[in-house]
Amino acid sequence: MTAKDQTPGGHNATAEGTGAGAMKPGFHNTDGQGVAGHGSFFQQTQLSREEAVKATDWVRKHVDRRTIDLGDRMDDVREHMYELEKEGKILIHRIEDQHEPKMVKTLFGWDKKVPTKQLWHHKSCGQCGNIPGYPTSLLWFMNEFGFVPGKDYLDETDQTSCTAWNYHGSGIGNVESLAAVFLRNFHQAYVSGQQHGHEAGHFYPLVHCGTSFGNYKEIRKYLIESPELREKVTKILDKLGRLVDGKLVIPEEIIHYSEWVHVMRNRIASELQKIDVSHIRTTAHVACHYYKMIHEDAVYDPEVLGGNRTAIITSMAQALGAQVIDYSTWYDCCGFGFRHIISEREFTRSFTMNRKIRVAREEANADVMLANDTGCVTTMDKNQWIGKAHEQDFQIPIMAEVQFAALACGADPLKIVQLQWHASPCEDLVEKMGISWSEAKKNFQAYLKEVEQGNIEYLYKPELAYGG
């Protein structure tokens, strides 16, 4: 925690007197590099408990009304992007009528177009590796709406990781490499339809991961504002054959999957919902990288939480008819934090248990906590076991809102939503929703025997992933 965070306005402090950079009791740093080698600017806060409580109360009072965000207005980066295109310096991948966009409002009341069809799925490395039911639930909805693979959406393999994990987790990345990866992936999204007989720009990228989403928005802003950065990465993209008419391809909007869920929520509820969830108590945790990075781009809706907080997650739960219960630490990070989950993992675990799981259980008595990012779901889902070692046996199911929505719409809890990959206990939630966990388990075991025999049921045509 930096020196400026030692004031009552330093909202990284918590009521326990520990923030993201606070030093653990009994830990003595002797290398002159700050806390746990994170840099000299990370020092002990020396906050008293009273000062820490005051800092936390300040956050609850001000951030909830968005006064801190609305205080400093800024230019809309898209306006500068359009000027660059007029000058012939870039090519904008636009959201067209063919993408059947829905209009939403962002924090400052700006319009943002969210495409609903012809989507290119930008997967998440952490979702595919740790929470596979996350992306499969999203693809399942595409199929349930009758979207045709290869025409209405594309899930191909020609995509790389965004590499933001490396940047945030280790600090050894650089803006040029991040920008080159961003432009490479979004160029692929722009040209991907051609191998299926469509025009360039047919598929529009839909980003699954909150980290990728925040990183790409930040990098797009750098690219638009820095001629030097554009010059450097143009040379790189030229060597990769990733320019169009000598120009960088930059998306008009960067779209997160939860924004697609938000604009499709009423169709999901009216056309697909099969299970009454009005007795289910839900809480929401929104990823920092969704609405705290490039916050002016996050979706807000006056009909959801009075427009005081971002609309995603909550809007889907409300559309399904679930109870949405508030809790005091809604603004807190999940505890993941990238670098300290590597070097200070016990801090991550204690933070997620004390500031998120315990509070959601004690204050909201929640049946489930819904999130919208890879790192958040992984952190809160996979670390609850550590509480038992410290007599803090607070447990709550953690999943993405798209997984919860899929359950409510009749998706198989193991084959599609894949709750067997979760470490948090999901059985009671599933049973409370009226779904038999034992029956689902028996059916899934029978399915696995079919798979062993080579009888595989595909959610997506595998040949399309390779341009077949």
Domains of the chain: 3-65 (no CATH), 77-257 (1.20.1050)
Contact residues for 173 (Cβ-Cβ < 8 A; gap 6+): 163, 164, 166, 167
Mean pLDDT of the chain: 85
* Better-scored residue on pLDDT, 339 or 139: 139
CA angle at 282 for the pair 281 and 286, rounded to the nearest 5°: 165
Of the listed ranges 50-59, 301-310, 318-327, 371-380, the one predicted with least confidence: 50-59
What would the mean pLDDT of 404-429 be, rounded to a whole number?
A: 96
> Is 60 exceeded by the pLDDT of residue 340?
yes
Whether the per-residue pLDDT at 346 is higher than 80: the answer is no
Average the pLDDT over 316-341 and give the result: 89
Is 363 a residue whose pLDDT tops 80?
yes
200-223: average pLDDT: 93
Q: Sorting pLDDT into bands at 50, 70 and 90, what band is 58?
A: low
Residue with tokens 């000027």: 83
Residue of 324 and 38 predicted with greater confidence: 324
What pLDDT band is residue 467 in, cutting at 50, 70 and 90? Answer: low
For residue 400, the surrounding DSSP H or E stretch is strand 398-400
3-state secondary structure of 454: coil
Q: Is 36 left (phi over 0), alpha (psi -120 to 50) or beta?
A: left
CA of residue 142 relative to chain centroid, distance = 19
Q: Cα 217 to the chain's mean position, in Å?
A: 13
> What are φ and ψ of residue 122, in 5° steps?
-90, 100
Greater confidence (293 vs 388) lies with 293
Is the model more confident about 452 or about 22? 452
Distance between CA atoms of residues 460 and 148, nearest Å: 10
**What are the tens digits of pLDDT across the range 282-306?**
999 999 999 988 889 999 999 999 8
Q: Coil, strand, or helix at residue 88?
A: coil
Q: What is the pLDDT of residue 237?
A: 96
Q: What is the mean pLDDT of residues 399-414?
A: 97
Distance of CA 266 to the CA centre of its chain: 21
- Give the pLDDT of residue 42: 59
The b/e string for 211-225 (b: 16+ C-beta within 10 A; e otherwise) is: bbbbbbbbbbbbbbe
pTM metric for this prediction = 0.86
For 95, the token pair is 């959201």
Which tens digits make up the pLDDT trace of 7-40?
Answer: 223 333 333 333 333 333 333 444 445 555 556 6
Q: What's the pLDDT band for 61 if we cut at 50, 70, 90?
A: low
Mean pLDDT, rounded, for 208-227: 92
Averaged pLDDT for residues 86-111: 96
Percentage of residues of the chain with pLDDT beyond 70: 85
Question: What is the amino acid identity at position 328?
Answer: S
**According to the model, what pLDDT value does residue 35 have?**
53
Q: Average pLDDT in the 32-51 region? A: 67
Q: How confident is the model at residue 62 (pLDDT cuts 50, 70, 90)?
A: low
